[in-house]
Amino acid sequence: MQQRPFKQIDVFTPVPYLGNPLAVVMDGSGLSDEEMQHFAHWTNLSETTFLLPPTQKGADYRVRIFTPGGELAFAGHPTLGSCHAWLEAGGQPASGNQIVQECKAGLVQIRREASRLAFAAPPLQRSAPSPALLAQVAGALGLTAQQIVAAQMLDNGTVWLGLLLDSPQTVLALQPKHIELKNLGYKVGVAGIQQDTPEAQLQVRGFAAPVGILEDPVTGSLNASLAQWLIEEGRMPARYVAAQGVCLGRAGRVHVERDSDKQVWVGGNSSTCISGTVTL
């Protein structure tokens, strides 16, 4: 074991301790998959990342992303939090305000926008869930068929079953049966459109019992795939703000924009809450 630089970052909030915390081991060199997984399980955060030298041409650094239950090819809040930590530690991107992060899903573009960072959402694959699965998930969430406006399987490197519900009030009132969701084996993201609410136009919750997280405070990958789906279908505008974390006492804000090339960018503020070393 050795002393390694370590940071804990709060992502998707300008105010510390109201977003989604991320553990970042600034130098993961020499650690085995098992050691990374064990440490991620110990932190008990939704994700823990390990920064490494890049292996792909054009990347500024490489990141490996672990939940308490397994490794992810891509995730949003670890992307922004890891980039924040890398820049704060003196990382110098090759292309000015454009940072290129390497992860298992490939190369991810990140841009600096004043006080925020935003990542380019990876390509999305989506399809309709089976009626049987949808009925089982609805039962685990306590939803009636009438409360589900639309549903899609969403995959941008991590898979979510996305549900658009009839109102933000329905979203916030959910009390899921997490054991049932875990047994079904699917992470489930729910969203409700908020009318005439300037601060945030979409209310979101993410339930991830299959990977050891009952409810994620603020979820970049889910918000990315929701944006790609809902903007494409004309249900949401090309630019909006999503709120997530209300039921956990958080105030996450996810800034979404689809540019003229139809690329969706997902951004937010980050704050460093802990800096030090970890023995690994």
Instruction: Say how many C-beta atoms besides its own lie within 10 A of residue 41's C-beta.
Output: 15
Q: How far is the C-alpha of 88 from the C-alpha of 272, rounded, in Å?
A: 9
According to DSSP, residue 146 is labeled G
Tokens of 72: 């992810």
Give Cα 73 to chain centroid, integer Å: 12
Instruction: Say how many C-beta atoms besides its own lie within 10 A of residue 107's C-beta.
Output: 17
φ and ψ at 52, to 5 degrees?
-145, 165
Q: How far is the C-alpha of 40 from the C-alpha of 60, rounded, in Å?
A: 23
Q: How far is the C-alpha of 39 from the C-alpha of 55, rounded, in Å?
A: 23
Catalytic (active site) residue 232: no
Of 34, 35, 47, 113, the catalytic one is 47
User: Are 118 and 110 within 8 A, CB to CB?
Assistant: yes
According to DSSP, residue 114 is labeled T
CA distances from 203 to 46, 87, 170, 195 (A): 20, 30, 10, 11
Instruction: Say how many C-beta atoms besides its own lie within 10 A of residue 104's C-beta.
Output: 13
Q: Enumerate the active-site residues.
A: 47
